[in-house]
A and B are shown apart, each in its own frame.
Chain A
């Protein structure tokens, strides 16, 4: 084994100096023959006879030379070189063919690479830290199904002293929004800071671009120092090299910059939201206004420790962690398990990640279908070319080329096409990825999504290059293999004599099969595109039931409102009071979940009814709202009334339900005065395990998803302590209302007014939701049309070929009096046959797609990508198939017309 590896290595090494080796060998043979000749001469032979005897004794020089070359493996590389040169020559000779082939492959491979890059940059790319494989992020999983990576400090301290499988443990807080003054601007602005333990940068092995990072003493003694992110340094300080030593007032306290983090470092958050600064955890009282805030826990696995050892140690420590005094009220619940997995940019254990994987899988299937359709076209082109090259190949066979050799040569040709296509694809993907990343960053940054600080690195990595190379070679060889095998199978004798007829039957069957496969893939893609497109059309004139034109969301900055919760609440109440006093403002309200921006769901049951918590109908959306909520959004109350302020303050046991919920829970009855029970274990809103009396019925509206009317909705009197967000409805458009809101806030707190975010519901969250609908519809439409265009080209090619084959027959038919129409329908039907074979398979594929799409909308909170369009409705299918038949007709029309122009006499004579 070892000697085999060494032998292979020495062969590879020899390739570089193969001329040297060949020369050496010639010299060696010459010396050998000279010595041998001298020996014979010494024995008394004449020089001529001695030389002859020496050659005889030595053996065939040419054979031995060939053997030597074969032993060093030169033959193989030389054949490859020959094949490549030959292939390149052929490509240059047919630039049109080469261009089409390379473009087709480029598009297919490019799209594939884009999807792979998206997946790779989210799921596979390791953090830009030293030995990223050993950096683990901890996660607590609770019995309730809840999971959390913001972990109590007691657990952090416990792991630091007790966990043996980690060489080091560090902590990092969630991003904290802090008011900064001084170096940034006199007015101040909100910056995002993360508090980290003193060993954070050391554990990760991240060296600063400028200055230094923290040392543990700075954390222990709460030194006011900060490392700033590269992005913040560039944006706010224009990459000022003199940044070190400057100070910034964070919540009023001066903090000195000691270092600039490298550009590639995005922190350890998931998703990767880059903070502006990192500050020692010891400074938490100053920055977070609290002490002992929960943090993310990062650990460096010891070099000699396996992941299994880590898991089993955590399992052992779990019961002791459960006993830690972090949760005296027992609110947190029982820990089911604690995991420590490699830290990645996006948490791969979450539900969001699963959704992402589904999206990627769907996209991958779609782009692979496009690539395969393109490949099928190339197979057809190559088949046609192989037919044209029959003579060349036959001559090669006759001259002694083996079948394997011919196949290898043809495959080299197509692999070269594949590689060129791959290079083009890579270029396409790089451009497209950059464009998409920019679009994503700008489109999503519109409003409160935090996407403006997201770290999206869509540049191709080594894995992307490897993937693209693999796909290109695979596509190239795949494309070449079928025609090559067919070509090599032919009998040399008959090919030289140009007997072409007998193989054609088999070949056109292969073509028909390929067309059918193309059509099947095409139908599936087009049905998907058609459904999503119909959803998109439906989304354009959807009625939400809310007063989207006049309603506005105003988010006040928590940091600016003050540190004290009572003070904050009082200020928000004062803002509300002032707003309500303005005549142009119809209503102001508050809510825990904002329209189109989030949702809560839980099972509820009518007291004494047949629906129980366990039944699927019990699951409903819910919200905690203020008295003015319904009026602020323009949701009409059909029966009863909204809450009163005392009811909100006292968490009274009253509720408002939507029309849909009322119909479901109390069909045919008057819901007012009925009682509704809430389950135990709801963590917020004071609604845990109580019974509520229904005091009002609100109209069913679309407040969670633009794509469907809320399936069921229960409103409880509000409790929204921490989020200072206001919903305001003005009598005018947002452009006139927004300044009024700003003025009102300005009267209470100047800072808050400067920093608050105000946006109309239509131009904010609804626009975001529309984007979420448009993007998939657009992608599906582009892919579907691309697939259709490719398939149409393929059909055109095949029909042209068939018509060319049947020129004589058509000539005969026309000579015998067939009308143009009959000829046209003959050609068209010929073209349609493989299409009709493909359609049923395509329909099966689209049925699977419809099943997936309709299963997505089962959950009450999920959006409906089709906006109520029934995925099983036959219109889409009929439309798609009709469209395909039209394209087939178009693709066969041109060759058919050419056939009709055939002069019958000429056609007959050609035989």
Chain B
């Protein structure tokens, strides 16, 4: 028996999506999902469909934009792209995430 795969928190998934778009440039939903799985070495419990909730939320906030294009293997697909506001948000999210994880880390070390 392996360890159960960790669940993904909602806000975390949003951060993962914009970071992926930042790193890879415009990408379709499948591509983003694959990338997140690869990075996590398939250790995350994530239905690929879940990603769409995140994509809609980010679009509504104006952090990403979507347009139809053609994928590598000549299929029509919707491509998502980070907007200027999204890039700014990413920087802010990273900073906030680092602060949070640093606090949690200190906390855990303290109680060890």
Contacts and interface: CB of A to CB of B under 8 A. Distances in A.
B60 to A, nearest CB: 4
Contacts of A38: 73
A35 B49 contact: no
A148 B12 CA distance: 70
Given A57-B47, A61-B49, A68-B56, A35 B61 contact: no
Interface in A1-46: 3, 6-7, 10-11, 24-25, 27-29, 31-32, 34-36, 38-39
Interface stretch (B16-24, B74-82, B94-102, B104-112): B74-82
Contacts of B56: 68, 71-72
B43 interface: no
B60 A64 contact: no
A64 B52 contact: yes
Contact of B47 (A10, A25, A35, A58): A58
Contacts of A58: 47-49
A27 B75 CA distance: 11
B49 to A, nearest CB: 4
Contacts of A11: 60
A7 B56 CA distance: 10
A37 to B, nearest CB: 11
A61 B52 CA distance: 11
A72 B76 CA distance: 23
B53 interface: yes
Given A36-B48, A64-B53, A10 B59 contact: yes
Interface residues of A, number: 27
Contacts of A61: 49
A145 interface: no
A18 to B, nearest CB: 13
A291 interface: no
B52 A6 contact: no
A67 interface: yes
A27 B49 CA distance: 13
Nearest to A4: B61
Interface string B33-53: 110000000000001111011
A668 interface: no
B48 A32 contact: yes
Contacts of B77: 28, 31, 35
A64 B77 CA distance: 18
Given A57-B48, A59-B48, A68-B53, A31 B30 contact: yes
A848 to B, nearest CB: 54
A241 interface: no
A60 interface: yes
Contacts of B34: 39
B29 A28 contact: yes
B16 to A, nearest CB: 17
A36 B28 CA distance: 12
* Secondary structure dominating the interface of B: helix
A3 B50 CA distance: 22
Nearest to B61: A3
A68 B55 CA distance: 10
B21 to A, nearest CB: 16
B30 A10 contact: no
B57 A36 contact: no
A59 B47 contact: yes
A25 B34 CA distance: 19
Contacts of B76: 27, 31
A58 B56 CA distance: 17
Interface centre among A32, A36, A57, A61 (most CB of B within 10 A): A32
Nearest to A8: B60
Interface centre among B29, B52, B73, B77 (most CB of A within 10 A): B52
Contacts of B48: 32, 36, 57-59
Contacts of B62: 3, 6-7, 10
B72 to A, nearest CB: 10
A239 B34 CA distance: 78
Contacts of A29: 49, 52
B49 A6 contact: no
A31 B59 CA distance: 19
Given A3-B62, A28-B29, A58-B47, A35 B52 contact: no
A854 B29 CA distance: 79
A32 B63 CA distance: 22
A248 B29 CA distance: 81
Nearest to B37: A57
B30 A59 contact: no
Contacts of A31: 28, 30, 71, 75-78
11 contacts: A7-B57, A7-B62, A36-B30, A58-B48, A59-B50, A60-B47, A64-B50, A67-B53, A68-B52, A68-B56, A71-B57
Interface of B: 28-30, 33-34, 47-50, 52-53, 56-57, 59-63, 71, 73, 75-78
Q: Which 4 A-B pairs have the closest CB atoms?
A: A59-B47, A59-B49, A7-B60, A64-B49
Given A31-B76, A31-B78, A71-B60, 15 more contacts: A3-B62, A6-B60, A7-B61, A7-B62, A11-B60, A29-B52, A31-B71, A32-B30, A34-B75, A35-B73, A59-B49, A64-B50, A64-B52, A68-B52, A68-B53
